[in-house]
Structure 1
Amino acid sequence: MSDSTSPEPVARPWVAAGVLFFDEAGRVLLVKPTYKDGWEIPGGYLHPGETPSEAAAREVEEELAIKPPLGPLLVADWAPHAVEGDKLLFVFDGGRLNQADRAAVTPDGVEISAWAYHDRDQLEQLLIPRLARRVLAALDHRGEGGARYLEHGTPWDR
């Protein structure tokens, strides 16, 4: 604190959560937003009082009309944006979608116009750089157990 009457400012990040789903070939499910260029992973910002896992599940249901169980947290990424401000982003492992969920996937048509599976080597071309780094770090960490902490999509290993 600078003095007894002026508290230090604290970070108030925007918090978002997304999910990585896979097909039997290990390709990653991406969604095509209607409101911007490029592709994304299913997910979005948290509502007040919502946990990251609750937000991820809600966003998947809203965007794709499915309710698969979520797996473990893969990464948490501290990724401030020069224009949008501080961000804290969580990526969960959705695992391989079962046949019923794959058949039921229906883009909402409002936020999401399409979905498709993509190979790992396509991700850097399809995703914006900061999201590509986050997703690739999550893929690298998948199966190792526990979650990995990132800063700007880069593992923070000290």
Structure 2
Amino acid sequence: MTTDEVPAMATPRVAAGALFVNHVGHVLLVRPTYKEHWDIPGGYVEPGESPHNACAREVREELGLDISVGPMLVVDWAPADNEGDKLLFIFDGGMLRAEQEHAIRFLDGELAEWRHVPLDALATHVPARLDRRIRAALGARDQGHAVYAEHGVTTPSL
């Protein structure tokens, strides 16, 4: 790669997702039709769109729910070899009421199913990097403040 091909600044892909938990702390995961693993509801931010607004839009498009997305819990610097630089946001989706769960509809065809997954089973559903990111978001929610992570890892030095 020549210096002419190197961008003058980072141009990361940006995605935003919602963290929903049930009354016993299990995480709501969705199974995309185009991935090998489960995920949280969310997706890429469109040009000119804020991550917060993208999160609400993705929940509406993927689950058919028009919710008020809560505060940011984590922003994760998570470059991927095959996708380049990425900034991934998780916002607090809160706890869905029973009637909201019954109203979930897969409107855009990207999802096949959803379920609440206990923390001790996260690793069997999601990649390790997403497991770490979800746990960082849960910790941030419990502590009452957002955190910064790199590949899902938060440390005092970051």
Q: Distance in 2 between matches of 1:76 and 1:109?
A: 26
Matches within 5 A, 1:1-158: 9-108=8-107, 110-158=109-157
Q: Distance in 2 between matches of 1:79 and 1:36?
A: 18
Q: Distance in 2 between matches of 1:46 and 1:112?
A: 18
Unpaired runs of at least 5, structure 2 = 1-5
Q: Is the 8 A contact 1:68 1:101 kept in 2?
A: no
2:3 maps to which residue? none
Cα shift at 1:143: 2.5
Q: What do residues 18-55 of structure 1 show as CA deviations (whole Å, max 9, x unaligned)?
A: 00111122111000000111100000000001000100
Percent pairwise identity: 49
Q: Distance in 2 between matches of 1:61 and 1:11?
A: 30
Task: State the one-letter code of the partner of 1:55.
Answer: A
Cα shift at 1:108: 2.8
What TM-score comes out, normalization by structure 2 length? 0.91
- Structure 1 counterpart SS, 2:99: helix
Q: Is the 8 A contact 1:15 1:89 kept in 2?
A: yes
Task: State the one-letter code of the partner of 1:12.
Answer: T
Q: Is the 8 A contact 1:68 1:97 kept in 2?
A: no
1:3 maps to which residue? none
Across the aligned residues of Structure 1 and Structure 2, the Cα RMSD in angstroms comes to 1.5
Runs of 4+ in 1 over 2 A off after TM superposition: none
Number of aligned residue pairs:
152
Q: Is the 8 A contact 1:14 1:87 kept in 2?
A: yes
Cα shift at 1:9: 2.0
Q: Is the 8 A contact 1:79 1:153 kept in 2?
A: yes
Q: Distance in 1 between matches of 2:88 and 2:155?
A: 15
- Structure 1 counterpart SS, 2:142: coil
Q: Distance in 2 between matches of 1:109 and 1:118?
A: 23
Cα shift at 1:129: 1.4
Q: Is the 8 A contact 2:41 2:59 kept in 1?
A: yes
